[in-house]
Amino acid sequence: TGKQGDPNTTIEVDVRKADQAYGVPPNAIQTNGTLATNDARVLDAFLLDDQIQFVGNTVDFNTGQAAIYHGIIDNLSTTRDITGYIVNGGADDLGYPSIAYTGLEAGDEDAIIVASHSSATRFPGCSALYFDNDRNHSELVTIKEGLNYIGNIPNTEDERWGDYSGNQRKYDEPGTVWAVSSFGESNTDNDTWIGQLARPDLNVATAEVEEEQLSLLAFPNPARELVTVEFDAGQAERVRILVTDLTGKPLASFMDDKPKKPGKAVFSFSTDPLATGVYFVTVLADEKVIASQKVVVQKD
């Protein structure tokens, strides 16, 4: 009821029931195993005038899939009415949504919702939908397709999805948001993707703003004596291979030269200077990080 430093400030708690229940979401399906969707809290929200819109994970009670819960609290200053929607991804499981306001005029309540998607036939990626002023949800639009399943955690079928997305209104460009979510990398890591989105009556560039992606394979993994790094050097003028520990501290640097020819390159290095542990092998093309893979060194 006041500022944090005011000794007379009090906290008032009010309980309201939404017209649509939500439930604990199941793990999502991917092409190899499952993805943990085990957080059923409110994950993102915005407050505008006398309304709050919020999103989170839920089960779709009709299909049993992981889905999005989109809630709206109207009349905050009086009755605090809650309307809820369960947004299903069709053949895809959905998870870890975020929401941002995209209105242009007073009274607008439209928004963009971003979430991760995955299925038994579709690699983990991220999508978005538009919620209009008539309170309709659009079809999902793909932001980034996954390149592979996610496989970071050994000896388990339940992987981390890449998890929480973010979604921020661009205040100097009404109707436009910048969003961040995750996708399955070609080396089975979960990685981050950033995209600019806008309400349907606005336009944004659709070109991918990223450096040329190089695939990377480091083997054997775990390694004992030698690690062989195989990658596509593309048209890079200079390639460097960097080995770091889990904190990012550089431990060794190899190659640091122009590839003998464009395309596939193979390089091996000894593990003698490395103790048993987990490391990152990173390829830099023209001093820009292009690809990285975890490598386990296991010595007798």
Give the domain CATH number at 237: 2.60.40.1930
Same domain, 172 and 226: no
Q: Which of 143, 166, 198 is the last residue of a domain?
A: 198
The residue type at 253: S
What burial letters (b/e) apply to 227-248, b meaning 16+ CB within 10 Å? bebebbbbebeebbbbbbeeee
The reply to whether 49 and 190 lie within a common domain is yes
Whether residue 40 is found in the same domain as residue 163? yes
Q: In this predicted model, which residue has the larger pLDDT, 256 or 132?
A: 132
Q: How confident is the model at residue 171 (pLDDT cuts 50, 70, 90)?
A: confident
Q: Please identify, among 163, 198, 233, the residue that sits at the C-terminal boundary of a domain.
A: 198
Flag whether pLDDT at 264 surpasses 90: no
Q: What share of the chain is helix, strand, coil (3-state, %, to 5)?
A: 0, 50, 50
- DSSP code at position 24: P
Q: How far is CA 159 from CA 3, 29, 152, in A?
A: 42, 10, 7
Is residue 274 located within the same domain as residue 156? no
In a domain, 7, yes or no: no
Which tens digits make up the pLDDT trace of 214-253?
568 889 999 999 999 998 877 888 888 889 887 667 788 8
In a domain, 19, yes or no: no
- Whether residues 113 and 55 share a domain: the answer is yes
Q: Which of 198, 224, 250 lies at the terminal end of a domain, its last residue?
A: 198
Q: Count structural domains, the chain.
A: 2
**Pick from 26-30, 137-141, 248-252: least confident:** 248-252
Let me know: does 48 contact 108? Beta carbons within 8 Å: no
- Mark whether 157 and 282 lie in a shared domain: no
Q: For residue 135, tell me if it sits in a domain.
A: yes
Is the residue at 272 inside a domain? yes
Cross-strand bridge partners of residue 22: none
Range of the domain at 192: 28-198
Task: Say if residues 14 and 75 touch (Cβ distance below 8 Å).
Answer: no
Same domain as 154, residue 64: yes
In this structure, what token pair is assigned to residue 1?
């009821």
Same domain, 113 and 152: yes
Residue 175 placed within a domain: yes
* 13 domain-assigned: no
Residue 58 maps to which CATH number?
2.120.10.10
In this structure, the answer to whether residues 139 and 282 fall within a common structural domain is: no
Across 45-59, 156-170, 256-270, least confident range: 256-270
Domain contains 118 = yes
| Residue 6, domain member (yes or no) | no
SS3 call for 31: coil
Does residue 144 share a domain with residue 37? yes
- According to DSSP, the β-strands at 166-169 and 288-297 are unpaired
Give the mean pLDDT of 89-110.
94
Average pLDDT on 84-93 reads 96
pLDDT grade for 211, boundaries at 50, 70 and 90: very low
Residue (of 159, 165, 166) closest to 188 by Cα position: 159
Query: Rounded to whole angstroms, how far apart are CA atoms 12 and 4?
Result: 14
Same domain, 82 and 159: yes
Do 239 and 174 have their domain in common? Answer: no
pLDDT at 203: 65
